[in-house]
Amino acid sequence: MSIQKPKGTQDLLPGEIEKWQYLESKARELCRKFNYREIRTPIFEHTELFQRGVGETTDIVEKEMYTFLDKGDRSLSLRPEGTAGVVRSYVENKLYGEPDVSKLYYVGPMFRYEQPQSGRYRQFHQFGIEAIGSVDPSLDAEVIALGYTFYKEIGLKDVTVEINSVGNPAVRAAYREHIQQFFAPVKDQLCKDCQSRYDRNPMRILDCKIDQKFCEGAPTIVEHLDEECRTHFALVQEYLTALDIPFRLNPRLVRGLDYYTHTAFEYKAAGIGAIDTIGGGGRYNGLVGQIGGNDEPGVGLGLGLERILLVLQAQGVEIPAAKPLDVYLIGLGEAAEKRIVGLLHELRLEGLTAEKDYQSRKMKAQMKSADRYNASYVAILGDNELEKGEISLKALATGEQETLPLADVARTLAARLHG
């Protein structure tokens, strides 16, 4: 039996990959304007990084990590998300205040052992940004605005931004008790996971699909914010309004990672069945310290690229497709066939996309290839033409034919097609 790809993974094939390249180039372009610079961190890290960073009691760390011992008996994990690795690298490489806030972005694969479904994979890709080094609420708004602008620029419609404040550690500790009190009477009726969350991470109960019926009327954290948190949250909203970013307050928004403080947000869009979250992020003022650095605040986001493509498809948004071939070269006769090897190279060096046949097929089959490549021109060189120093050219769209001097054909076509 042939070997197949692991469950929950995808092959990104030619034809599809152009869409990925398009999203990535849009992400890079946008980051340049917002002054974020690319960072590439390892795909695997010490398991402890995610335990400390993402949180021991989160689903991600408890159930979803690909963790293994390497030959040196070290526990390593494939990264389930990007923030912890970026923060580790920030601390390790002392990227403090370079030159002000460190503004970093990444695009790459993440790994979570989840039950695959449409929009949920075991290997998926995120475009993420992290801004480390400032508590300024305008930075929270900038991060939210960058994500929103990204969706907009690639043509995604009807994206909703939901925001909440999850407070600071003191507020959360007090809120935790309120939540426990609220769920205490129904504790035994909660699902198994939530019964254990009750003691270890009770806020996560609010996020449980199964136990939504028990969540009605639960106290929200925004009701319990202190002065510092309230002011920060109000300013974030003020800036979002100033930036013309529409948002909705969602006091029930709790994110699946433990590092968040203050602002938490998600982007929602319909089109992938039961899943509607296409991106999310928030502020993490304690994370740099937890990972062993100076106590520096941060804020960031992660957008799932698979989900974006699914929603684009559901909305019928066309993404610029693969560029067609400029020239398909056909050589007829022994000498001409040899000559087109060099000519093909010349065309390519002139910046044209050019191809020839490598199977010694008949002229008719080669014309078919040219069609399938959607070539703008077919250039045919016969031994006769070679002797005369000419080549004949056919524009496939119009059928128009012409003869050009062989010595100039590369330059002429480059000027014609690419100015």
Report how far residue 148's alpha carbon sits from residue 151's, in angstroms, rounded to the nearest whole number: 5
State yes or no: residue 279 binds ligand HAM (CB under 6 A): yes
Count of chain residues binding ligand HAM (CB under 6 A): 26
Distance separating alpha carbons of residues 410 and 419, to the nearest angstrom: 13
Q: How far apart are CA 390 and CA 388, in angstroms?
A: 6
- Identify the residue among 53, 85, 137, 280 touching ligand HAM (CB under 6 A): 280
Query: In the bound complex, what is the minimum distance in angstroms from residue 158's beta carbon to ligand HAM?
Result: 16
Q: Does 301 bind ligand HAM (CB under 6 A)?
A: yes
Listed ranges 95-103, 174-182, 271-279, 391-399: which one lies at the site for ligand HAM (CB under 6 A):
271-279
In angstroms, give the least distance from the CB of 41 to ligand HAM: 12
Instruction: Tell the smallest beta-carbon distance from residue 308 to ligand HAM (Å).
Output: 8
Site for ligand HAM contains 85 (CB under 6 A): no
Three-state SS for the chain is: CCCCCCCCCCCCCCCCHHHHHHHHHHHHHHHHHCCCEECCCCCEEEHHHHHHHCCCCCHHHHHCCCEEECCCCCEEEECCCCHHHHHHHHHHCCCCCCCCCEEEEEEEEEECCCCCECCECCEEEEEEEEEECCCCHHHHHHHHHHHHHHHHHCCCCCCEEEEEECCCHHHHHHHHHHHHHHHHHHHHHCCHHHHHHHHHCHHHHHHCCCCHHHHCCCCCHHHHCCHHHHHHHHHHHHHHHHCCCCCEECCCCCCCCCCCEEEEEEEEEEEECCEEEEEEEEECCCHHHHCCCCCCCEEEEEEEHHHHHHHHHHCCCCCCCCCCCCEEEEEECHHHHHHHHHHHHHHHHCCCCEEECCCCCCHHHHHHHHHHCCCCEEEEEEHHHHHHCEEEEEECCCCCEEEEEHHHHHHHHHHHHHC
Assess 281 for contact with ligand HAM (CB under 6 A).
Answer: yes
**Cβ closest to ligand HAM, residue 121 vs residue 214:** 121
Q: Which residue is nearest to ligand HAM (CB)?
A: 304
Minimum CB separation from ligand HAM for residue 64, in Å? Answer: 8
Among 133, 202, 271, 282, the residue binding ligand HAM under the rule CB under 6 A is 282
Minimum CB separation from ligand HAM for residue 144, in Å? 11
By CB under 6 A, the residues from 101 to 130 that bind ligand HAM are 112, 114, 119-121, 124, 126, 128, 130
End-to-end Cα distance, the chain: 52
| Cα–Cα distance for residue pair 12/18, rounded to 1 Å | 9
According to CB under 6 A, which one of 141, 236, 278, 393 is a site residue for ligand HAM? 278
Residue 29 beta carbon to ligand HAM: minimum distance, rounded to whole angstroms: 20
Q: Which of 27, 36, 65, 82 binds ligand HAM (CB under 6 A)?
A: 82
Nearest CB to ligand HAM, comparing residues 143 and 336: 143
Binders of ligand HAM among residues 241 to 260 (CB under 6 A) are 256-257
Of residues 22-81, those binding ligand HAM (CB under 6 A): 81
Site membership for ligand HAM, residue 286 (CB under 6 A) = no
Q: Which is nearer to ligand HAM, 146 or 406 (CB)?
A: 146
Q: Which distant-in-sequence residues (6+ apart) come within 8 Å of 24 by Cβ?
A: 107, 127
Provide the minimum distance between the beta carbon of 83 and ligand HAM in the complex, in angstroms, as a whole number: 4
CB nearer to ligand HAM: give 64 or 337.
64
Residue 339 sits in the site that holds ligand HAM (CB under 6 A): no
Which of 103, 307, 339, 356 lies at the binding interface for ligand HAM (CB under 6 A)?
Answer: 307
User: Given the rule CB under 6 A, which of 145-153, 195-203, 295-303, 335-343 is the region that contacts ligand HAM?
Assistant: 295-303
| The binder of ligand HAM chosen from 53, 202, 300, 382 (CB under 6 A) | 300
The interface mask with ligand HAM, positions 364-383, x = CB under 6 A, is --------------------
262 interacts with ligand HAM by CB under 6 A: no
Cβ atoms of 46 and 76 within 8 Å: the answer is: yes
The Cα 62–Cα 158 span in angstroms is: 34
Residues that bind ligand HAM (CB under 6 A): 81-83, 112, 114, 119-121, 124, 126, 128, 130, 256-257, 277-282, 300-302, 304, 306-307
